[in-house]
A and B are shown apart, each in its own frame.
Chain A
C-alpha cells in the first residue's frame, strides 16, 4: 500500500492486485454463489469493484484499519469484499422488484405454514430436545471454563460450526485439537447420560470400570 501510495511504479500496483486477488475472488465466488449469480462476468466485475473500494481515497480506509488492527488486516478485506457483494445483490434485487414485475395470487391461496415454523410440532419437539440436552449438559461440564465449553458445544451441534472454525473465533483461545478434545469429552459424557435412564440395566449386571465383569 505504501509503495503504491508513494511511487508511481506500475509493478507496485500489480503486486497489490496480485496479492489480494485469491482472497477477494474466493469470498466473492462463495457469497455470489449463495446469492444466485456466480458467473465469471459478475465475479470479475465484483472483484474490480472491491479493489476500487479498497483503494479509494489513497487507501484511507485500509490504512486507518491497518493502524488499529494490524493482525486482522486480511479479515477486514474479507468483510469489505462480502459487503460489496451483498450491496450489489441488494441493489440488483431492488431493481428487479421495481421493474413492474407483479405476481398474482390465486383467490383461494392459503399459504402453507413451514414445517418448522415457531409453534409447529417439529419446532416444539426440537425445543424440548434442546432443553433436555441443556439439562444434561449442565451436569457434564464444570469448572472455570464451563461457560466457554458449553458455548463450544452449542456452536458445534446447534450452529454447525466445525472445531476448526470454533477455534478461529475471537475469545475461544483454543487450538483446533483443543476444541476437538472438549467436544469429544462432552459428547461422550452427554451420550452416556442420555442413554442411561432408558437403558435400565439390572443391578447385578452393573458394569465396573475395568470393562467386562462376571455376572
Chain B
C-alpha cells in the first residue's frame, strides 16, 4: 500500500511548520498521518523540498538594496502621498509601478512603515519620555502658536446672524460684494500688506467669476490668440500650437509669488484625465511696464517653455497674469515659473512662482 500527499496536505504541513498564511483548521489526526507518511516516503520528501524551495525563491524577490531611479519612475514624493492615503487619482497606475520597481517599491514600503499608526513598545516608551510629551511643554508651544496667529474676528457670531443674512451670503455676486466689504473693513484694521493681499484676492475673485461666465467660443478665441502669441515669441522649445475644440478641458491654479520649500506650502496643480490645458494665474508683486518674459522651469533647472509678451491691460488692472499651457508640458514634477521684465541690459527677474503638478 503506497500513499502520497496531495497539495492540500503539503500546504497544511508547510503551514504547521512555517506559519505561512492563515492557518486552516486541519484535522490533527489527518495531519499526523500525513507527517508519518512524509517521514517514510522519498517521493513526497522530494515534493516537499520543491515546495520549500519555491518558498525560498519567493523570499528572494525582495531587492537587497534600493534600485536606481528610472526614467518612468514618478517623483519620489508621490509615495508619501499614496502611503498617507491622499492620492486617489492615478494611484492604481502608481501602485502597479511600485509593485515592479526596485526604486519606488522600497520608497512606498518605507513611507508605509513611517506612517503606520501602531507603535512598538519601544516607540511608546521613547515618545512618552520626550519633553514634548509633558503638559508644560505642550502648553508653552500652544502659547507660542497662539501668539504667532493674528486674531480674525470679522463676521458676527453664528447666533447673531439672521437667516436672511445667511441666505444672502449664498448668492455668488453677494459673496463677492461681501468679500469686498470685508476687505474694506480690514483696511482700517490690518497693516498695509495684508490689506493689499485681500484687495488683490477680491479683484481676482471678480475676474474669475467673469471668466466663468464667458462662453466656450470666447475661451477658444483666447486660446487661439495665446497660441499665436506663443508661436510668435517662444524662444525655447517650440510647442505645437494648441487647437481649440468645443470640448476643451482646462485645469486652473492661482499662484502667489515666492520661492517656497516643503510640501506644506507648495501649491498643487492636479490635472485630471482628459484635460487639454492648464490655466495658471500669477498674482503680480508689481505692475510691470513693457515686455515680460515668462519661463517654465523644472525643479532641476530644465527650461520647458518660455514666451515674451506685453501683459494685456485688463490683466494689469487686476495685478495678475494668466498663462495657458498645454498639459503635455506638465508631467508630474515640481516647477517654477520665472517672470522677468525687459530692461536696457536685457531681462531682469522680478517674480518666481513654485508649484507641483500631479495627475
Q: A105-113, A138-146, A167-175: which lies at the B interface?
A: A167-175
Quick check: A79 and B80 within 8 Å, CB to CB?
Answer: yes
**Chain B's nearest CB lies how many Å from the CB of A4?**
7
**Chain A's nearest CB lies how many Å from the CB of B313?**
31
B99 to chain A: which residues have CB within 8 Å? Answer: 150-151, 154-155, 158-159
Q: Mark A147-165, 1 if CB is under 8 A from B, else 0.
A: 1001100110111110001
A154 to chain B: which residues have CB within 8 Å? Answer: 61, 99-100
Interface size grouping (class) on chain A = 35 or more
Task: Please give me the residue from chain A that is nearest to B41 by CB atom.
Answer: A205
Quick check: B145 and A55 within 8 Å, CB to CB?
Answer: yes
Q: Is the interface of B mostly helix, strand, loop or mixed?
A: helix
Quick check: A133 and B127 within 8 Å, CB to CB?
Answer: no
B342 proximal to A (CB < 8 A):
no
Contact of B3 among A151, A181, A213 (CB under 8 A): A213
Please report which residues of chain A, range 22-43, place their CB below 8 angstroms from some CB of chain B when the two chains form the complex.
22, 25-27, 29-31, 34, 38, 40, 43
Q: In the complex, what distance in Å separates the CA atom of A53 from the CA atom of B99?
A: 33
A99 proximal to B (CB < 8 A):
no
Q: B130-138, B211-219, B230-238, B275-283: which lies at the A interface?
A: B130-138
Task: Please give me the residue from chain B that is nearest to A83 by CB atom.
Answer: B263
Quick check: A47 and B4 within 8 Å, CB to CB?
Answer: no
Quick check: A87 and B47 within 8 Å, CB to CB?
Answer: no
Quick check: A170 and B85 within 8 Å, CB to CB?
Answer: yes
B22 proximal to A (CB < 8 A):
yes
B265 proximal to A (CB < 8 A):
yes
- Contact A170:B87 (CB < 8 A) given known A17-B142, A44-B132, A158-B99: yes
Please report which residues of chain B, range 1-19, place their CB below 8 angstroms from some CB of chain A when the two chains form the complex.
1-11
Q: What 3 A-B pairs have minimum CB-CB distances, sorted nearest first?
A: A75-B84, A215-B2, A195-B50
Residues of A within 8 A of B (CB): 4-6, 8, 10, 13-14, 16-18, 21-22, 25-27, 29-31, 34, 38, 40, 43-44, 47-48, 51-56, 58, 61, 69, 71-72, 75-76, 78-80, 82-84, 87, 114-116, 118, 126, 129-130, 133, 147, 150-151, 154-155, 157-161, 165, 168-172, 180-181, 183-184, 187-188, 190-192, 194-196, 198-199, 201, 205, 207-215
